[in-house]
Amino acid sequence: MEERGTPLPARRISRALRMSNTTVDVAALIGTYPYRELTHPDAGTLVGVLDREEIPRAWVGHLPTVFHRDPRKGNEALYRELVPYRKRLDPSPAVRPDWPGWEKELARAVDEGALAVRAYPVHWGLGVEHPAMIDLGRACADRQLAVLLTVRFEDARQRHVIDVAGDLPAATIRAIARAGTGARIVVVAAGRALIEEVHWGLTPDEQLRVFWDISWIWGPPEDHLAKLLRTIGPDRFVFGTQWPLRLTQNPRANLDLLPADLAGIKLATPAAILRAIGGEQHPQDNRSQAR
């Protein structure tokens, strides 16, 4: 750290700089986790965390639903718990495309004002190029919803012995991106190796449809985040924390510690994610931008 000079205290970093990359946390969660205790994983506490970190909004998923065969009840719980906080929290419910009636869950997500839906192909046993995931991508593109995929919840070295779901493979992400559905894909909790494997294996047009949150990308001293911003570009990355499984301060610190040539760089906005590749505007783009 000495090579970087004397670090600035957080209070001396201008608010404009700190806010430039954090308009929305796309990777927040609420609810319990089956493998370890989480401290106050509720929506009210999340709003307090957003206030502390000066993050205006969050896309919020329901952590217990990941482990449900049928996500319907978990989605209902998510919608219910977010009712008092909808000025700050947007639901991103789970939609399992191989489950009967999944189209109704997708329609309800639209009715509830969701901007993205979550899918967990590894936890649901949906292999690479599973046709149901392609169907979900096409349906989300038609409804101008982003598809949010999660690579991992914990490092493999920390996982419980009965947590047998592995990391989301690069091949699954590439298959959805290559399917020609037009879906915008947001990948949460990916590291540098996976990001590079997927990104450089896609055509330029396909690359435009895939975004990466920064919650699991290493900052100093490895500086993986700086390297990715230089080689792939900041317009492919969005802000995410994966709270309450990870500290919200991590991605903020990694942005504040970027080298001088990248200081204040702006990541992609939710409006950029939801904007149609053909230049069409999502009806909620302006709302997302304002938020």
pLDDT in tens, the chain (291 residues): 344 444 434 333 333 334 445 589 999 999 999 999 999 999 999 999 999 999 999 999 999 999 999 999 999 999 999 999 999 999 999 999 999 999 999 999 999 999 999 999 999 999 998 999 999 999 999 999 999 999 999 887 877 877 778 899 999 999 999 999 999 999 999 999 999 999 999 999 999 999 999 999 999 999 999 999 999 999 999 999 999 999 999 999 999 999 999 998 999 988 888 774 333 444 344 333 334
| pTM for the structure as a whole | 0.87
Location of structure tokens 């989480």 = 38
What is the extent of the structural domain holding 41? 2-290
d(CA 215, CA 248): 8
User: How far is the C-alpha of 42 from the C-alpha of 31, rounded, in Å?
Assistant: 6
Based on C-alpha coordinates, what's the Rg of the chain?
18
The CATH number of the domain where 42 resides is what?
A: 3.20.20.140
The number of distinct structural domains making up the chain is 1
Burial of 209 (0-12, 13-18, 19+ CB in 10 A): buried
User: Which of 81, 107, 77, 82 lies closest to 95 in space, CA to CA?
Assistant: 107
